Structure 1
Amino acid sequence: MKLLVVGAGIGGLGAAVALRQQGFDVDVVEIKQEFSVYGVGINHPANSLRALRSLGVLDETLGIGYQFRNTTFLDEQGELIVRLDSAMGGDDMPANNALSRLDLHRILIAAAERHDVKIQYGKTMRSFTDTGGEVEVVFTDGRQEAYDLVVAFDGIKSPTRHILFGPEHDAVYSGFGVFRVTLPRPDFLDGTRVYQAVGVKAGFLPLSVDSMYMFIVTPDPAHVIHRPEDFVDVLRERMAPFGSLPGEVRDSLTSSDDIVYSRISDVLLPLPWFRGRVGVLGDAAHACAPHLTQGAGMALEDAVVLAECLAADGTLAERLRAFEQRRYPRAKLVQDVSRGILESEMGITEATWGATVQGMRDHLAEQMGGIERFLDAPA
């Protein structure tokens, strides 16, 4: 089979490597003119790390990143609410490994190059025609080529999804945004720390021995546009309730800090994800809020499972349906839980604060343990 992968992000590069491992011929096109990465750090829970192991890049990823098992929840002044140890991983796999997005992208590009994957930047599909026996693709540079299958990892704003399934499945804005910034890591930060206040959340994730990143989740009306030159002032205003580590960081922010902002939107495309010989995967099919740090993991699992299913017996339609049936339940759970966490955190009021804290102490370990055990099972 000859396949076209649209998009050279985490999922697209992972798919290219996994498909080449199974012996398929793969082309990758990327609309960006050159290699670039948006964002700061990224965490890989154990299920995501298993996908990276399947791609042959686990050791390199672990060598660059920071492994940890615990998540500590605190109030806005740093008073402990509850500390959780992850139910994921085991003797052969860390529970979590965080690293910079730039480092991860470099690792995946190098893996693709080792597998002789051709990545063409500055071009994408202009149009395609599924003839039943193949997909005739016209690229933005005017070139035409035929493929047995087209797989689009073209992101939350996926043009391919829009063409295949219509505007009713476009991304839906949640009403919340997230600021992120990379900072020096203090020695005591050996896992995730989440500081909850009424109407805003601050969190910290270690990325390496020397660095961490901070994220701030906050309500944002759809009509509000934040200019990069205003990020520091906006962050200081949104972080006003915090003392402890978030307060220290807030007071030290400067205009030279590389702050990144993104809106939290989601997509959950109902099955099928393929129409004939063209389909969408990763964020194009199931983008979610970042609250389980599973976005990259879901895309990488898509990549590995797709290659496994395509290498199995059966008609192409049967193999694609098998892929969808394996992937949909996990993607739906991640989206439902992530959105539920976002809405419950942002819905805290002064009146519900006490009950919320007690509920976290009484039930959060059991709730998260069940979710993590499900995700820790084979994809």
Structure 2
Amino acid sequence: MTQFLRARRRRRRPPASDAAPQPAYAAIDLGTNNCRLLVAEPADGGFRVIDAFSRIVRLGEGLSCSGRLSDAAMGRALRALEICADKMRRRGVTDARAVATEACRRAENAAVFVGRVHNATGIEMEIISQEEEARLALHGCAPLLDCAIPNALIFDIGGGSTEVSWLTTPGAKAQAEGGGVAAPDLVAWYSMPIGVVGLAERHGGRDITPAQYAAMVEESREALAPFAARPEVCDVLSEGRVQMLGTSGTVTTLAGVYQGLPRYDRKRVDGCYMGFDTVQAVSRRIAAMSYGERSRHPCIGDQRADLVIAGCAILEAICRTWPVGRLRVADRGLREGILAELMRASPTRPCNETEKDGQPGPRQSP
């Protein structure tokens, strides 16, 4: 990947001073439903996002029935990745990592797709394991964790699966002594084989009855039960010292709907809190909307209108399984984790996201 980008990148505009230009790094996350890109360069204490791209490609459409990526789905993803490759060349990216998750893990023709991507774009897609996906998401979300609360549950509701991680934080004293953000420890993780795409395909996504919604919640609860029963999870939960952090399109969409935003605003959503009563009320409100109402909503749109109810059902199942009482919303995750690791060897040693084009970055504390 790096060799391709170095060979084909365009010459960057020379800097105004004699200082060497900042290296640029890129992270691509190709999931079951979305293709996302972040391009960033090191900044004081972190990194500055200089370009981004996101497109719904539905790579996993029909996968649950056929076991294969369809030609149409691969074509949509390939077109999005061509845009990503062009952005990386224009930004002079010097190092990058492109990962694919659940859809490619499950598809029997994933290797064929990866080869097509490389031939067309030069991007070397890496199909990562469920554990690696959880680990990267944890690194990306870590700055939003409250170090004073010793335990945390992080979840990511994806298109093909839902990743749940249980971790311990270093504690306020350890963080203060360390002089910076100390990394949490991953205690246990679970990949629930249910995501919004498969759940919507089984139960429907356009016009949903209360009975269908209840069935989606129950199916998700049953799938979460084995992980919830693990001693390291249920014993600590009973002590009440747990925080919850959600990173997914479902969670950020609910936060936007709850705040009544006229259009989605990452700065308003990333880092905000929602009580479980609010989560349930907003989820039920969305589930009661018609397909047309969901399509017209500025924080949902026509591309998510048939999937958002399935996401609400999974989220409600998570909240019932672990009744922590409050959820923090993260519009960050796997890509930010990739960038942090790519830049770890940089002399600036960035670890957290900072500002973008002079705008304040996400809030880093409660």
Task: Provide the TM-score with structure 1 as the length reference.
Answer: 0.23
Task: Provide the TM-score with structure 2 as the length reference.
Answer: 0.24
Q: Where is the strand percentage greater, Structure 1 or Structure 2?
A: 1
Q: Where is the helix percentage greater, Structure 1 or Structure 2?
A: 2
